[in-house]
A and B are shown apart, each in its own frame.
Chain A
Amino acid sequence: MRNVNPDNSRKQRILKTLIFAAIIIGILALADTKLRGFYLGVFLLFGINAIACLGVSITNSYANIFSLGFGGIMLMAAYTCVLFTLPVSYKESTLTLPLWLENLQAPFILALIVSGIVAVLSSIVLVLPAFRLRGHYFVLASMGINIVMTNLAINMRAYTHGPLGLRNIPFHTNVWWVYGLLALTVFFVTRFKRSKFGRALIAIGKDQTLAAALGIDVVKYKIYAFVIGSFIVGISGALWVHYTGSMHPNVFDLNFVFHIIAMLAVGGSGSVTGALLGAAIITAFTHLARPIQEGFALFSFDVPPLIGLIQVLLAVVVVLIMIFRPDGLIGSREITFNSVKCNFVMPKAREEEKG
């Protein structure tokens, strides 16, 4: 009988990880040099969306607190980050800020960290309702927080320039920033999922009363879930602004929130690889399929431009997935080297072992 499980000796494992990392870095370097314009944009957006998905999945999938408030949190983080990186002259001409904030210029990494912290602080407004309300009532409350944040951003003209929005934001986001942070996030979330915290959270998500009876401190772990999730989500929001270079209060509206929810729904809730898969599918679909909604000629028929067709198709796909595969494409399983090897490369060996 052959040994099905790959040899997990320490040396081999390190070697495998190194080879894997080298391949990934190679692909990224290739992407950095070869991809330009539109395709580079899609590639970067995939990374940013994937980070957001991973952050959202901590509260929405693992702890099963279905929050739509992350749009508001991303907005908060994005505005914070922008205040740190905008050129001083632009800030002077459009915003009325306190002097120290106006002259503030910080390196991107510092701005990212601060915006993550601000995201965590602003998630307090989500944490409070999360302890009182359940089910749809919390969903509604979190959605309200989203709308309230947008409304505040529109009205606090001194800091946000209101609905006119901000421009001239430096383009800091590149392949290395996005994918470096994505790699860190993936590493962190996979470790987190298997740690004491992650397992406690999943237990709370499955049955809160049972988890409390087992001695899990529900309040503490829910707060942890919001802190970690909001930090990651906030960073992705900050990256997003420095990719687009402009900012206005409606960028993270319910439509954006729906996209992230769709990614998690399609990929599979409670799975890191599922979140990545969902982000990849939805990002690719919404951007690469864009030409079909701009009208084309099909066998002498002129198909008129139908702006919004993408959203309609996406909605139909999500409804169908919710009807036929409510757990998403891969559910809460993970795609790993071992699972691929056992299922596709060596299925025969597995059967032998079973028999």
Chain B
Amino acid sequence: MGLYLAQQLVNGISYGSILGLLAVGYTMIYGILGLINFAHGEVFMIGAFICYLASAVRGMPWVIGAILALVTSTAVGFLLQRYVYRPTTEKKAPLLTVFIASFAASIGLRHIVMMFYTDKRRAFPIPGVFERMFLVGGIAIGLRDIVIFIVTIAIMSVLAYFIRYSKTGMGMRAVSYDKNTAELVGVNSRKVTIAAFIIGSALAGLSALVYGLSFGIVNPSMGITPGLTAFIAAVLGGIGNVTGAMIGGFIIGLGEVLFVALLPASLSPLRPLFVWALLFVILFIKPSGLFRPNVKFEEIWE
């Protein structure tokens, strides 16, 4: 049983990394603009798709496909900010207007990809290096699990440092706490917003690569479930708190894997229910999340 649990924990780490990397994007954008970027899951999907197209269809080396994926998802995030979110938020439109626009952007992006490639599952190219497995005390650990874990932790540390000490990072925190005052003391809120979208979308692209490596499939509607789950992870970690989002992602990822592993198999189709039940528990008991959120509380509670 102990071995089985340890194996499941190893399996859960890559899913946790996917959710954590995605959750950072949500949390930064929510913190700054006060909106759920519904299209974030689609940015994630486009990242995975570009890597698939470049290396499996066009036959480029995997690394180039991965770089292209990161560049494209960053570009998509930037374009979203420029042509959907900036026009709607800068008009002081009500929150729901922006929300409907973001919902529409998500549906639109998903169907653009579906239009050309149909909603079919395809095999994501996994370079042979990542297939190597190690046996540590009876637990099978893939090289990709190790690489994914190290990369995620490294990126998370760099990002935490960036948010805490760099000028842009401090600007981000200032804007997410109070936009008007931040602008009064000379923070360029437009630049900060763009930075948040770019960082968030690049991490979504990275998360897509991790998803492809650990699940091996891509399809145009793959962004829905990880996207929504990652937002729940961001809420769990305290919305607006980047480190919290990463930890929340790991908690939910591991929790979901353990839910399937520990309960009888007849309950495993109810996996989405577990995540949403968790959301309700968080929202009713501690809507501020586990760590200090970086937004004002009136936005959450009635």
Query: Which residue on A lies nearest to B97, using beta carbons?
Result: A326
A322 to B279: give the CA distance in the assembly, Å: 29
Contacts of B269 in A (CB 8 A): 151, 154-155
Task: Give a binary string over B266-286; 1 marks a CB under 8 Å from any A CB, 0 the rest.
Answer: 000110110010011001100
Show the binding face of B for A, using Cβ within 8 Å. 30, 34-36, 84, 87-88, 91, 93-101, 103-105, 107-108, 111-112, 114-116, 118, 224, 228, 231-232, 235, 269-270, 272-273, 276, 279-280, 283-284, 287, 299-302
Interface check A129, CB cutoff 8 A: yes
Q: Which of B104, B231, B283, B301 contacts A322 (CB 8 A)?
A: B104
Residue from A155, A308, A319 in contact with B270 in the complex, judged by beta carbons closer than 8 Å: A155
How far in angstroms is the closest Cβ of chain B from A274?
A: 15
A323 to B86, CA, bound (A): 9
For A133, give its contact among B94, B101, B232, B283 (CB under 8 Å).
B283
Chain A at the B interface: mostly helix, strand, loop or mixed? helix
B299 to chain A: closest CB distance in Å?
6
In the complex, what's the smallest C-beta–C-beta distance from A281 to chain B, in angstroms?
15
C-alpha gap A132/B287 in the complex (Å): 10
Q: Compute how far the CA of A152 lies from the CA of B279 in the bound complex, rounded to whole angstroms.
A: 17
Q: How far is the CA of A133 from the CA of B283 in the complex (A)?
A: 8
Task: Report Cα–Cα, A318/B100, bound state, in Å.
Answer: 8
| Complex alpha-carbon distance, A311 and B104, angstroms | 9
* B299 engages A315 (CB within 8 Å): no
The minimal Cβ–Cβ distance linking B172 to chain A, given in whole angstroms, is 19
Q: Which of A20-28, A141-149, A330-338 contacts B (4 or more CB under 8 A)?
A: A141-149
Given contacts A134-B300, A311-B108, A311-B111, contact A261 B272 (CB under 8 A): no
Q: A354 in the interface, Cβ–Cβ < 8 Å?
A: no
Q: Are A323 and B231 in contact (CB under 8 A)?
A: no
Which residues in B have their C-beta under 8 angstroms from that of A315?
A: 104-105, 107-108, 111
> Closest Cβ of chain A: how far from B28's Cβ, in Å?
15
Binding site secondary structure of chain B:
helix
Q: How far is the CB of B90 from chain A (nearest CB, A)?
A: 10
A62 CB, nearest partner CB in chain B, Å: 13
Tell whether, in the assembled complex, residue B36 and residue A140 are in contact, meaning their CB atoms are under 8 Å apart: yes
Query: Which of A140, A141, A315 gathers most chain B CB within 10 Å?
Result: A315
B277 to A: closest C-beta gap in Å: 8
- B228 smallest CB distance to A (angstroms): 7
Nearest chain B residue, comparing its CB with the CB of A137 = B300
Shortest B240–chain A CB gap in Å is 13
Bound state CA distance, A170 and B235, in angstroms? 45
Q: Given that A132-B302, A133-B283, A322-B88 are contacting pairs, would A306 and B116 also be in contact in the complex, using a CB cutoff of 8 Å?
A: yes
Name B299's contact: one of A134, A141, A148, A262 (CB within 8 Å).
A134
Contact status of A133 and B300, CB under 8 A, knowing A318-B101, A326-B97: yes
Chain A residues with Cβ below 8 Å from B299 are: 134-137
A132 x B284 contact (CB < 8 A): yes
Question: A139-B36, A254-B224, A316-B108 are contacts. A148–B272 as well, Cβ < 8 Å?
Answer: yes
Chosen A-B contacts, 12 in total, with CB atoms closer than 8 Å, are A137-B283, A144-B280, A154-B269, A155-B270, A258-B104, A307-B114, A307-B115, A316-B104, A318-B104, A322-B97, A322-B98, A323-B101
